[in-house]
Amino acid sequence: MPDLGKHAFVVLGAYVSALAILAGLVLVTWAEARAAKRRLARLEEQMKDKTDG
Amino acid sequence: MSIWRYANPVEFMALSGRVLPPLAVLTVLCLGLGLGWGFFATPDDSRMGATARILYIHVPSAFVAINCWLMMLAASLIWLVRRHHVSAVAARAAAPIGATMTVVAILTGAFWGQPTWGTYWAWDPRLTSFAVLFAFYLGYIALAGAVEDPEKNADLTSVLCMVGSVFALMSRYAVLFWNQGLHQGASLSLDAEENVADVFWYPLVVSIAGFVLLFVTLLLIRTRTGIRTRRIGALMQRLG
């Protein structure tokens, strides 16, 4: 760990807040993608059942 | 082979599905290397001390924030001229990424500004133009969420994107336009003499590459989600 001296708060604050925001974006993107994929699979199954039956 | 074949959603989903796994791995490697190198293995700057380490997050996020809007402009123009739905979906998918990058750039700039300028915020030309760019991102996202008809939605957001492009460019060149304010000039330039010293420049370039790769990865995932969401809407209509 580098010696950040009196600037430790601003340097670590910048890194921690930025990485937390970016991690949030990645998580939201991943969760939305997963939800859409599952919902589409369910609907396509229903559509298949409707056309088959 | 024409690139326009990827305007076909089926072709786009097939290609992006193949590209995404290696792209995600490359993104993690590049971001880890750039940020790790910048944070742990670069010296303090002679004037700014340890705060120079903020460079490796601040500059890449600002770079992506501006260029994301320009990508949205290109996609919007493709929509307006050629009416390819994938380009409209991609423009819409990029907006939340750009807005997030703008927040990161403003926030890290505020942390950097306090010890450097003695204040977290000032109505400096570049800072102000970034705040306006963020407002345009929010307006774009709100408009994209407010109109249900996909074609009308894409038309309206494309026009808004063209108007906002003035501010995206202004964010990049604000320092040159007004030649005043607290913010310094660009840290990267095609002119080698204007760049920061090599010891800071190399990790910065790797970090920028990592942020660009992160943008592309998230954009592909979000565009795929957008295409699936449209398909869900179409199936819901057919199922009644």
pLDDT tens for B110-128 read 999 999 889 999 888 888 8
Q: Which residues of B touch A (CB under 8 A)?
A: 35, 39-40, 49-51, 53-54, 57-58, 61, 96-97, 100, 103-104, 107-108, 111-112, 114-115, 214, 218, 221-222, 224-225, 228-229, 231-232, 235-236, 238-239
Q: How far apart are CA A40 and CA A51, in angstroms?
A: 16
Provide the whole-model pTM: 0.92
Average pLDDT over residues B22-27: 98
Percent of chain B with pLDDT over 90: 70
Res B179 pLDDT > 70:
no
Q: Are B189 and B59 in contact (CB under 8 A)?
A: no
Of A2, A33, A50, the CB nearest to B225: A33
Q: Are B219 and B16 in contact (CB under 8 A)?
A: no
Average pLDDT over residues A28-42: 97
pLDDT tens for B56-85 read 999 999 999 999 999 999 999 999 999 999
Res B191 pLDDT > 60:
no
Give the number of residues written for chain B. 240
Structural tokens at position B239: 């199922």
Res B3 pLDDT > 80:
no
Choose, out of B111, B120, B236, B238, the residue to mutate when testing the contact with A (most A CBs < 10 Å).
B111
Average pLDDT, chain B: 90
| Closest to B112 (Cα-Cα) out of A33, A7, A31 | A7
